[in-house]
Each structure stands twice: as structure tokens, then as C-alpha cells.
Chains A and B, each alone.
Chain A
Amino acid sequence: MRWLLVAALLGPLSAQAQRVKADMDCRFTGADFVYDCVIRLRPPLEGIAIVVGADMPSMPLAHNVRPVKATPGKAPGEYHARLDLDMTGEWAVKLRLSGAVRDLIVLHFLFTETGVTPRRK
């Protein structure tokens, strides 16, 4: 038990060489607050497991939305996920990557009935 903690604290100092970035585009499906999203990784890594979650900015730890696994799309680095949100408004979408790279990427979007716009670039 203790050695694990020490290992976690010191950590293998293998800082990953590349840092992955992600873009996401979402489309309102017409059903209440269900959105189809396309995630594109840069560089276009394949075979990454992506779990997509969403938080509202206040009360960040009690997540309302059960995270979903993204499925690989046709193009390399492309993944699809369907988000089922509780309400429209601003959400912080969290992409938890695992596999060849491990990372957590947080993106902000304003989800409305017509579409989805990023809160910032």
C-alpha cells in the first residue's frame, strides 16, 4: 500500500513527449438535449480510448451526466460520442484519454436548442 503511494508521489518521470489536443463539434439531434459530437485529436492518434463526461461549472464534482465512451470514426483521429445532457446552457466537456496517451482535456461549449458553440477558441 505504502509503496504505491510513494510511487504515485514520485512517479516515473516519463513526461510524455507529445501533448495531444482535441477539437469537438456537436450537433443537436432534435431529441431533448441529446447531442451528437465528433472529436478530432491532433495529432490524429488512433486506438485511443476516450471517455466523454460533462460538468456544469458550479458543483464540478457531482457530475450530472454519466460519462460515455467515444467510438472511433472513419477518419484517423476521429471519434464519435452522443451526449445526453440534463439541460441546455454552458457545460465543461471532459475528454479523458487513455491507451497510448493519458490525458484529460477540458473544453467549454454553450449547448442550445439550435446548436453548440464553443465558449472560447
Chain B
Amino acid sequence: MDEYTIGVLTNVGLLAFLALSAYVLLVAGELSFGQQAFFGVGAYAAGVGTAMLALPLPLAAALAMGLGAGAAALVGLPTLRLRGLYFAMATLAAAEMFRIGFELFRWQVEVGGERVGPDGTQGFRGIRWVFEHGVEPAQFLLMVWALLGAVLGVLVFVERSRLGVAVRAGGQDPELAAAVGLDVLRIKLGAIVAAGALAALGGALFAHHNTYIEPRNFDIMLGVHSLAYALIGGLGTVLGPLLGVALDIGLLEGGRFLKEYRMIVFGGLVAVLLMFRPRGVLDERAVHRLTRWR
């Protein structure tokens, strides 16, 4: 594999974490415009961890996931009863507050004769754990995909459990789910927190892949893209978001012959696709049909 392919596959893996976090919420029946905030929290937390506090990456990533989950709970608790566009707007407002918070976040320490740390709108450079530890791009790619595989495994396990059924039920018809005795709000809070931790893990890896992060990386564009990936790929299986990311990045990178017309073609294709499959390519029905023969 050449370095370019490795780079593209790494990007797909990193975005998949964010798309999966949007997916978890979509399955739970909610629409978030704000998952980029937790991606950002994870990126900053892990960057601070390795570049400033000299923690090993696994520990920093775990810390990032914890903080991402905490931040998501902070946003989720006051908005738990909101539905639809109200919830989406509340998450957007919260995410923008986080982004402005990153702009105000200045904390630098001396590391090896250089000042390292977040510097407000100037961003946070020098997150070089990967290079300092001689991790080759291919090894980093493997790390990203191994973690993604682990996450997918956990999600598949949960989807097949009673909990997974409960999350889907609460998402499809909260009143009915509550009527059969499910604690819909607690399930939703759990989904919000899990989605926050997932996004933060992706952010932690992103910061180390890029070595540099800045507040504008985590604006609404990233959030709406991840939401679109999850929906395009399909809400029937955890592989849906991965497919959504792969479709977009694949076309972006592979469709060089279209070059400038790429987004025009892709935007139109997505709109047409959603006409026929409003819950994405791999929706529940498609998944059912594909798995029937087992």
C-alpha cells in the first residue's frame, strides 16, 4: 500500500468513529448536529495528555473518552426531554459553545525547549506522540482500524442484546416503548453518553494523526457530514455509517475524473438515494433480507 492509500484509509477510519456516534443517536431516535464537539473534546484532551503531560497514547485516549462521555452527559441531561429539531438545535448550540470554548482555551507548557499546548484560535500544534514513538503510518492505520473493529464488535453485541432492542424501540416509538415499561429517558441518556465517548475516541486518534488541531476543525460542517454519513449508509446495521463514509471519501478520492463536479454529482446522488431509501442503503429491511439465509 502506498502512503496515499494509507492516508485515505486512515481518514475513513477516523471519520467512521464520528459517523458511528451520529448513528447511535439516530438509532435512539435523535438527531444531533453537535457530535463534532465531543470529537473536539477528545482531540484536545488526548493532545494535552500526550504532548503536555507525557502520557502514553492509550491512557490519553481513555482519558479523552471519559471526558467526551462527561461532556456529552453535560449536554444531554438538560436536553433529555427535547425531540426532533429542538434536540438538534440544542446540540448545535452546545457544540458551538464548545468550539468557542476551544478558541478561548490557552494553556501551554515548555516541552523540550518549545512551548506546546492549545493556543486559542492559533490552534494546538506539536501532538507528535506517533512520530516520537516511531509509529509508521501503516501501524497507525492498523491501530485505528483495530479500535474501530473493537467498537463495531461491541456495537454488534449490544444491538443483538435486549438493550439494543430497547434502544431501537425507544427510537422508533418512545410512547409505546415507555408503555411497555422501558425507561426511555435513561436509555436515551446512555446513548448520548456512549456516542460522546465514541466521538471523543475518534477525535483523540485524529489529533495524533494530524499532529495539529484548531477550533475550526470542529465546526458544524463536520457534524452535519457525520450525520449524513450515518443516514446514507443506513440505519439497519453498524456497518451503515462505515459504508456512508466510504462512499463519500471513496468518491472524493476515487472520482478524480469528475474532479470539480464531484460534489455536484454526489449531492444529487444522495438526494435521489434518500427518495428511495429514507433510512439509507443498509436500512433495516435490507439488513433483514441480507441476513435471512443464515
Contact = CB atoms under 8 A, between A and B. Distances in A.
Touch A–B, Cβ below 8 Å = yes
A13 B133 contact: yes
Interface in A1-24: 1, 4-5, 7-9, 11-16, 19
Contact of B15 (A12, A61, A92, A103): A61
A100 interface: no
Contact of B131 (A51, A60, A103): A103
Interface in A24-56: 51, 53
A14 B135 CA distance: 10
Contacts of B135: 8, 11
A59 B225 contact: yes
User: Which of A8, A15, A59, A67 has most chain B Cβ within 10 Å?
Assistant: A8
Contacts, number: 89
B212 interface: yes
Contacts of B3: 51, 96, 98
Contacts of B142: 1, 4-5, 8
B216 A57 contact: yes
Which of A9, A16, A62, A102 has the most chain B CB atoms closer than 10 A to its own CB? A62
B125 interface: yes
Interface residues of B, number: 41
A19 B134 CA distance: 13
A59 B211 CA distance: 16
Nearest to B141: A8
Interface string A66-100: 11000000000000000000100000101010100
B217 A57 contact: yes
Given A58-B222, A60-B210, A11 B134 contact: yes
B214 interface: yes
B131 A16 contact: yes
Contacts of A67: 4, 7
28 contacts: A1-B142, A4-B139, A8-B140, A8-B143, A9-B58, A14-B134, A19-B112, A51-B3, A57-B214, A58-B221, A58-B222, A59-B221, A60-B210, A61-B14, A61-B15, A61-B249, A62-B225, A62-B248, A62-B252, A92-B212, A96-B3, A98-B3, A102-B136, A103-B128, A104-B128, A104-B131, A104-B210, A120-B122
Interface of A: 1, 4-5, 7-9, 11-16, 19, 51, 53, 57-64, 66-67, 86, 92, 94, 96, 98, 102-106, 120
